């Protein structure tokens, strides 16, 4: 779709009060107004408790329906409230993407004993002790659900590794031994082999596991009337499994069903290899662009804005790129913390919302703010302006003016349905301007900065050029004076 816009509908510190689904439902009209076309929901399946954001996944079939892990509801609400929210999103004409956690399981119902070997955490291909019997939490029989939807139960044979031996009280990474057992190899080679991430690591080469996950995803998509899936932690999941799994989904649901992966990695070559190994079946978040913007926000004096798109999916494979400023993993206090400085947030959203390439995603924590101990102020008004410009005025071919280390700009030239011009300028160190070509037919037209950061008006000269400024440490977005944003 033209100028699609995703909204990540959660952040890590959402209150554990069970009201999330009801609260988000109240926000949908406003999100639709600014041009949001899809909503990415948090993990909706039962996790280790209501204080779990959802990534400590317990039961894939429990959507807030069964009394398990201390409650019927998840952190976010009940199954009925979830279905009500999804219906409301669809009624607003937006798509629904669910966050799916298939890398591991947590909160097992009972312990088991089995053979395992401890490996080097820095190189998981190296055994550092002799094999021995350990005891770990790997048994899942979901007594609260009592076989509804699926009678499949999980045991240690369905996992590759764990991180605790209760026989000795020892922590570490233990590879489970047995016939046809071992780490999956179609994963990141960080730490030798990055199959293991946390909890009980699912063995995606086990035929019973593969069969059960395919059966589950068919049920899950139909149960929730989903339009897409965001896969968590794909660098830790066997690419051969993901290739078959996503191919099954596409064959069943059609090519229009949206798939997106989270591959948290700086190295573009590794992400490209992953995309090839999964036959480009899913888009990826552009983590490289996130870190480029993060570094720019941290070091305005030295960062060269002309390199913003180096080593990014957006530059190398734009149709596969989902651009984002921050997310639940990068926010303060999280393991991947890399939160952009406040002064750069508006600039960063201008970069992802007003350029031609990438499928941009607005982060809940940037839009509504973050509560709890970190107390991050919202950027809603600034993002609203940029999103409305994207929705109504940022179309057509793009002409870049990456002129100086601390000064870049571009022009969107419009299309048949949206013929207006849009000029963008970013300056990090001081007030500067760029002469940009708006078109021979634009001579004499007056342009205004709709962010309100720059009070100047710019008149296009008889050659079709305008001298567009930006204040120090800011972005300016220029549309013809008198235009209504929407």
Single out the residue of 242, 255, 256, 183 nearest to residue 214, CA to CA. 242
Q: Dig out the tokens for 406 from the structure.
A: 């601390």
Contact 28, 88 (CB under 8 A): yes
103 in a known ligand binding site: yes
CA gap 93, 50 in Å, rounded: 30
256 exposed, middle or buried (CB, 10 Å; 0-12, 13-18, 19+)? exposed
Instruction: Determine if residue 441 is left, alpha or beta; phi over 0 gives left, psi from -120 to 50 gives alpha, anything else beta.
Output: alpha
406 in a known ligand binding site: yes
Contact 276, 298 (CB under 8 A): no
127 in a known ligand binding site: no
Contact 406, 432 (CB under 8 A): yes
Give the C-alpha distances (Å, rounded to integers) separating 215 from 60, 70, 188, 245, 385: 11, 27, 26, 11, 43
Per DSSP, the residues of 75-131 read SS--HHHHHHHHHHHHHTT-EEEEEE--SEE-S-SEEEEEEEEEEETTEEEEE-S--
Q: What angle do CA 193, 194, 195 make, to 5 degrees?
A: 100
Q: Which of 11, 81, 109, 262 is catalytic?
A: 262
CA gap 425, 357 in Å, rounded: 17
Instruction: Determine if residue 118 is left, alpha or beta; phi over 0 gives left, psi from -120 to 50 gives alpha, anything else beta.
Output: beta
Phi, psi of 77 (to 5 degrees): 145, -165
67 in a known ligand binding site: no
146 in a known ligand binding site: no
Q: Which of 52, 59, 232, 326 is catalytic?
A: 232
Only one residue has tokens 């401890």, namely: 118
Only one residue has tokens 């100028």, namely: 3
Q: Dig out the tokens for 108 from the structure.
A: 């097992």
Would you say the C-alpha torsion 142, 148, 151, 154 has a positive or negative sign? Answer: negative
Contact 35, 385 (CB under 8 A): no
Give the C-alpha distances (Å, rounded to integers) separating 379 from 132, 262, 480: 54, 24, 25
204 in a known ligand binding site: no
Q: Is 170 a catalytic residue?
A: no
359 exposed, middle or buried (CB, 10 Å; 0-12, 13-18, 19+)? buried
413 in a known ligand binding site: no
Q: Is 262 a catalytic residue?
A: yes
Q: Dig out the tokens for 33 from the structure.
A: 């107004």
Single out the residue of 389, 351, 361 nearest to residue 7, CA to CA. 361
CA gap 10, 16 in Å, rounded: 12
Phi, psi of 211 (to 5 degrees): -60, -45
Residues of the binding site:
103, 195, 201, 203, 236, 301, 406
- What positions carry a catalytic annotation? 232, 262
**Can you say which residues are annotated as belonging to the binding site for Ca(2+)?**
103, 195, 201, 203, 236, 301, 406
């Amino acid at each position: 779709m033209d100028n699609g816009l995703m909204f990540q509908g959660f952040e890590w510190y959402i209150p554990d009060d069970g009201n999330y689904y009801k609260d988000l439902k109240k926000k949908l009209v406003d999100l639709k107004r600014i041009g949001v076309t899809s909503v990415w929901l948090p993990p909706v399946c039962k996790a280790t408790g209501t204080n779990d954001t959802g990534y400590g996944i317990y039961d894939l079939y429990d959507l807030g329906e069964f009394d398990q892990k201390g409650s019927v509801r998840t952190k976010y609400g009940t199954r009925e409230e979830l279905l009500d929210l999804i219906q409301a999103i669809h009624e607003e004409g937006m798509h629904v993407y669910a966050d799916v956690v298939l890398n591991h399981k947590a909160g097992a119902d009972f312990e088991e004993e089995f053979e395992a070997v401890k490996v080097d955490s820095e190189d998981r291909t190296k055994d550092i002790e002799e094999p021995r019997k350990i005891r770990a939490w790997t048994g899942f029989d979901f007594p609260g659900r009592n076989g509804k939807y699926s009678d499949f139960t999980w045991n240690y044979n369905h996992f590759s590794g764990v991180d605790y031996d209760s026989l000795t009280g020892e922590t570490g990474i233990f590879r489970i031994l047995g016939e046809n057992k071992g780490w999956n190899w179609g994963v990141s080679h960080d730490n030798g082999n990055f199959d293991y991430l946390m909890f009980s690591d699912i063995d995606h080469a086990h035929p019973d596991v593969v069969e059960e996950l395919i059966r589950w995803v068919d049920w899950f998509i139909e149960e929730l009337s989903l339009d897409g899936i965001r896969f968590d932690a794909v660098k830790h999941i066997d690419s051969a499994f993901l290739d078959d799994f996503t191919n099954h989904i596409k064959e069943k649901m059609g090519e229009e069903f949206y798939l997106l992966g989270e591959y948290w990695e700086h190295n573009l070559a590794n992400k490209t290899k992953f995309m090839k190994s999964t036959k480009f079946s899913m888009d990826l978040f552009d983590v490289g662009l996130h870190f480029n913007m993060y570094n720019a926000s941290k070091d305005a004096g030295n960062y060269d804005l002309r390199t913003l798109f180096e080593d990014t999916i957006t530059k190398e494979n734009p149709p596969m790129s989902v651009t984002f400023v921050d997310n639940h993993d990068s926010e303060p206090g999280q393991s991947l913390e890399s939160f952009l400085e406040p002064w750069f947030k508006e600039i960063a959203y201008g970069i992802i919302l007003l350029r031609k390439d990438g499928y941009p995603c607005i982060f809940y924590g940037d839009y509504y703010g973050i509560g709890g101990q970190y107390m991050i102020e919202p950027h809603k008004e600034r993002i609203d302006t940029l999103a409305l410009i994207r929705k109504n005025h940022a179309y057509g071919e793009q002409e870049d003016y990456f002129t100086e280390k601390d000064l870049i700009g571009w022009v969107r030239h419009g299309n048949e349905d949206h013929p207006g011009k849009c000029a963008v300028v970013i300056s990090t160190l001081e007030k500067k301007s760029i002469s940009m070509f708006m078109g021979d037919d634009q001579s004499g037209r007056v342009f205004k900065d709709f962010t309100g950061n720059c009070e100047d008006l710019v008149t296009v000269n008889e050659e079709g050029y305008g001298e567009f400024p930006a204040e120090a440490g800011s972005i300016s977005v220029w549309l013809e004076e008198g235009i209504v944003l929407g």
